[in-house]
A and B are shown apart, each in its own frame.
Chain A
């Protein structure tokens, strides 16, 4: 690993700490919508961590996984939101 890869790894670690900080809102959230927002932020952060780890491990596949993760989390957000509206 070279120096900048260590930097990417450090950034990924810090964002992992942010994920831990989000758990509070995920549990406390007064309404379901609050929890859903926290879940949305978790999804975005996880895909960002995957992008950073792609640089750390020098693998292109991880970027593809991140793209698919974004698309799938979008679909799941749509589905839960539709359920919240009372559609499903």
Chain B
């Protein structure tokens, strides 16, 4: 019961930020701003799921029956967090570059330095 009280704020934050990520997909006007919301909010939300799971397994290991499988769960969840933090922003960056090279320009934009740089090279970008 006490464990539920520790875990529930993490789950609420996790769900709230994932929800914000989904809302930002509908509210923002173009590809790049959507990518902002999608990447940051879902990474943060999933990271909080991971934290909830870490607390859960740690508490079950230390204060519970002390079974080894909760320690194994703890270690595996840490590796999952590391993989998440590496893959998600890299994927977002690759997506942004692909969108720019495929010709989707930022729609409301004050300045586009990358476009100017590519024009200076003589339209080398495909």
A binding-site residues for B, Cβ under 8 Å: 2-4, 7-8, 10-11, 14-15, 18, 21-22, 24-25, 31-34, 36-38, 40-41, 44-45, 47-48, 51-52, 54-55, 58, 60, 63-64, 66-67, 70-71, 73-74, 77-78, 81-82, 84-86
Contacts and interface: CB of A to CB of B under 8 A. Distances in A.
Mostly, the B contact residues are helix
Instruction: Rank and list the top 8 A-B pairs by shortest CB-CB distance, nearest first.
Output: A81-B98, A33-B99, A74-B87, A84-B98, A63-B76, A48-B46, A4-B4, A11-B11
Interface string B6-25: 01100100110011011001
Nearest to B125: A85
Given A24-B26, A36-B98, 11 more contacts: A7-B11, A15-B15, A33-B31, A34-B31, A38-B25, A40-B39, A54-B73, A60-B76, A67-B76, A71-B83, A84-B98
Chain B's interface size range is: 35 or more
The A contact surface, by secondary structure, is helix
B126 A86 contact: yes
22 contacts: A3-B4, A4-B7, A11-B15, A25-B26, A33-B104, A37-B34, A40-B38, A41-B25, A45-B18, A47-B80, A47-B84, A48-B14, A52-B49, A54-B73, A55-B53, A60-B73, A63-B77, A70-B84, A70-B87, A78-B94, A81-B98, A84-B102
Contact of B95 (A2, A18, A36, A47): A36
Contact of B31 (A37, A60, A67, A74): A37
Contacts, number: 143
Interface string B33-59: 011001100110110011011001100
A88 to B, nearest CB: 11
